[in-house]
Amino acid sequence: MSFKRTTSTAGRVLRQLRHDPRTMALILFMPTVLMILLKFVFENQTAAFTNIAPVLLGLFPFILMMVVTSIATLRERTAGTLERLMTMPMSKIDFIGGYAVAFAILAIAQGTLVGSVTLGFLGLTVAGGAFKLLIVAGSSGLLGMSLGLFFSAFAQSEFQAVQFMPAFAFPQLLTCGLLVPRDQMAKGLQWFSDIMPLTYIVDGMKQVTLYSTWTHDLIRDLTIVAVCTLGALVLGAATLRRSHK
């Protein structure tokens, strides 16, 4: 593992995005625009907005980062540049680490922007305060990023990669407690949502909305999300192959 190779890979990924201002703008501003739209949808229903906005604030970064990251790494796999790097003195961890650092920076920038706008201009108030909200939103982006890296290994084309998003994210969205409280779902579905990481993002956001302190549940949620993020990165590195049989 080499710090220099990791950072230069991260720099290279960000430089590629800089040459693609439209993608950069979508990553940075889309969640914010969606939140503004949500505010208008719930124009006269402040209570409803206060309920749903934090949860969506947790979901948007996850979904967006997952799609963007999986396409970016898939492109590298299909363009032959990954293979070229694997013939060079570069470790798999450097490669995955570089992507992780680059997209983590974007996830944090995105989360900060959408969080500040929602709290500052759209009038959302949460008991836990801005800092905790940003931590959960940022963790959600990081989780999406690492799962995107991992899942891109199973896609052979961009068509497959974009469909992995609904295939993997929607079952989690349906069971994470957003539509129906988890304790009202069938036992099987509860078990399913217990092992899905997105559940803990949504629960974390609910904790931040309701309580002003670092609750036991919030810390548990963030720990589980962090473990899943790291786990997916390690699995992602394991899917990179230096040679074919």
Partner 1 sequence: MAMPTAIATKHLTVTLETQRVLQGVSLKIAEGQVTGLLGPSGAGKTTFLRTLVGLQRPTTGEVEVLGYQAGSKELRSKIGYVTQAPSVYPDLTVTENLNYFASIVGTNQAQVARVLDDVRLAKQVSQLVKSLSGGQRARVSLAVALLGQPELLILDEPTVGLDPVLRQELWDQFHDLAKSGVTLVVSSHVMDEAKRCDALVLVRDGKLLATGTPTALMAETGTLDMESAFLRLVEHHS
Question: The tokens of 218 are what?
Answer: 């919030």
Cα(94)–Cα(3) distance, integer angstroms: 8
E strand or H helix at 44: none
Q: What contacts 24+ positions apart, CB below 8 Å, involve 215-221?
A: 218/128, 218/132, 221/136
Per CB under 8 A, contacts with partner 1 among 5-44 are: 5, 8-9, 11-12, 15-16, 19-20
Stretch that binds partner 1, among 4-12, 29-37, 149-157, 170-178 (CB under 8 A): 4-12
Cα(45)–Cα(161) distance, integer angstroms: 37
Cα(241)–Cα(243) distance, integer angstroms: 6
**Least separation, in Å, of the C-beta of 7 and partner 1?**
9
**By CB under 8 A, is residue 88 in contact with partner 1?**
yes
**By CB under 8 A, is residue 132 in contact with partner 1?**
no
Binding mask 165-184 for partner 1 (x = CB under 8 A): --------------------
Cα(187)–Cα(14) distance, integer angstroms: 44
**Least separation, in Å, of the C-beta of 149 and partner 1?**
18
Q: Which of 52, 86, 226, 235 binds partner 1 (CB under 8 A)?
A: 86
**Least separation, in Å, of the C-beta of 204 and partner 1?**
35
**Least separation, in Å, of the C-beta of 78 and partner 1?**
10
**170 burial via Cβ count (<10 Å: 0-12, 13-18, 19+):** exposed
Q: Which is nearer to partner 1, 75 or 182 (CB)?
A: 75
Distance (Å) of CA 147 to CA 77, 142, 206, 235? 16, 9, 23, 9
**By CB under 8 A, is residue 79 in contact with partner 1?**
yes
Using DSSP's 3-state secondary structure scheme, residue 111 falls into: helix
Q: Which is nearer to partner 1, 67 or 90 (CB)?
A: 90
**Least separation, in Å, of the C-beta of 234 and partner 1?**
21
Residues in the chain: 245
**By CB under 8 A, is residue 158 in contact with partner 1?**
no
**By CB under 8 A, is residue 87 in contact with partner 1?**
yes
**What residue ranges bind partner 1 (CB under 8 A)?**
4-5, 8-9, 11-12, 15-16, 19-20, 79-81, 83-90, 242-245
